[in-house]
């Protein structure tokens, strides 16, 4: 792999307690010969100066999120057009994506310098409403504006009518997002490096409505029922409004997010640890 020299850093928002760890990390990284660039909002949170998001992405060889999976997902979604590899240091609990623990940084970062690391490609979703495009690493979720109300959704696959969903909503997930809201709604766990689209109804009104796993080559269109409006939730972090007669178009991008992993990283080991399988 390519040797990494310049790293753009993003801290979990509203977590001022990360200040002490960032200085500790920065001292270690610079001692190993890395240039560290801190993003402006992260810098402001801990009383420093930083660069704007786009400048950090352009100038860095790789991006680093310090926080939990949510922080990494936000960085991945917003930086996707720059196609920079991303590494996450896990400061949270679950950590499916941010698999590097802070105590492992000292031994792992020399591997970045020597190019002895692996990069995994994660399928990304591209959504569009009336020409406005956005990206999601985990999922795009459609729900009624009033979360207590039932919603009616019409789904087409490759522009051919496929199904109508009536219930609390619909999840369109990537394989990476299969272990997020998708699994809570009864969807399957899918190997994260697969090229698929997952459609999982949320509390469907009919028992015949079941989760569906599609090849990634298919494209999906969703329309909301007459006289209804729909909340489109992107990776649980951003919301858009889908109005009557509008269409949400979703496709899977095979050239997706590039996440940096330890060469010995094993997905099935992570599943066993996080879900306590076999115990």
Could you give phi then psi for residue 81, rounded to 5 degrees? -65, -15
Would you list the domain boundaries of the chain?
Answer: 6-117+262-275, 124-253
Q: Locate tokens 């949270």: which residue?
A: 92
Q: pLDDT tens digit string along 98-132?
A: 878 888 999 999 999 888 999 999 999 999 999 99
Share of the chain above pLDDT 90, in %: 79
Is the pLDDT higher at 262 or at 89? 89
Burial of 199 from C-beta contacts in 10 A (0-12 / 13-18 / 19+): buried
C-alpha 257/C-alpha 84 separation (Å) is: 8
Q: Active-site residue among 55, 61, 69, 158?
A: 69
**Do 68 and 94 contact (CB within 8 A), yes or no?**
yes
Residues 6+ apart with CB under 8 A from 121: 193, 254, 255, 256, 257, 258
Nearest to 94 by CA among 184, 160, 21: 184
Q: How far is CA 33 from CA 85, 88, 117, 143, 266, in A?
A: 19, 19, 17, 48, 28
- Looking at the domain that runs over 6-117+262-275, which CATH code has it been given? 3.40.50.10330
Average pLDDT in the 229-237 region?
96
* pLDDT score recorded for residue 32: 95
- State yes or no: is 69 an active-site residue: yes
Could you give phi then psi for residue 11, rounded to 5 degrees? -100, 150
Whole-prediction pTM = 0.93
Domain 124-253: top CATH class: mainly beta
3-state SS, one letter per residue, for 19-87: HHHHHHHHHHHHHCCCEEEEEHHHHHHCCCCCECHHHHHHHCCEEEEEECHHHHHHHHHHHHHHCCCEE
* pLDDT score recorded for residue 94: 65
Q: pLDDT tens digit string along 168-190?
A: 999 999 999 999 999 999 999 99
């Amino acid at each position: 792999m390519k040797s990494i020299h310049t790293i753009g850093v993003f801290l979990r928002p509203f977590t001022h307690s990360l200040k002490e760890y960032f200085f500790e990390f920065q001292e270690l990284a610079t001692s190993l010969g890395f240039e560290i660039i801190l993003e402006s909002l992260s810098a402001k949170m801990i009383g420093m100066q930083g660069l704007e998001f786009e400048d950090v992405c352009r100038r860095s060889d790789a991006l680093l999120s310090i926080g939990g999976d949510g922080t990494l997902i936000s960085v991945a979604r917003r930086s996707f057009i720059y196609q920079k590899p991303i590494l996450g240091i896990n400061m949270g609990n679950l950590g499916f994506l941010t698999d590097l623990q802070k105590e492992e940084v000292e031994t792992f970062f020399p591997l970045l310098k020597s190019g002895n690391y692996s990069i995994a490609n994660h399928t990304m979703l591209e959504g569009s409403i009336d020409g406005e495009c956005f990206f999601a690493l985990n999922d795009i979720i459609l729900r009624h504006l009033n979360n207590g109300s039932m919603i009616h959704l019409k789904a087409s696959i490759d522009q051919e009518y496929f199904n109508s969903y009536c219930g609390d909503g619909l999840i369109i997930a990537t394989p990476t997002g299969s272990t997020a809201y998708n699994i809570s709604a009864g969807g399957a766990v899918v190997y994260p490096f697969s090229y698929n689209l997952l459609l999982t109804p949320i509390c469907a009104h009919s028992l015949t409505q079941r989760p569906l796993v599609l090849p990634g080559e298919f494209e999906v269109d969703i329309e909301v029922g007459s006289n209804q409006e729909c909340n489109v939730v992107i990776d649980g972090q951003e919301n858009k409004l889908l109005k009557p007669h509008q269409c949400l178009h979703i496709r899977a991008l095979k050239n997706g997010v590039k996440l940096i992993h330890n060469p010995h990283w094993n997905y099935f080991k992570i599943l066993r640890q996080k879900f306590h399988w076999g115990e």
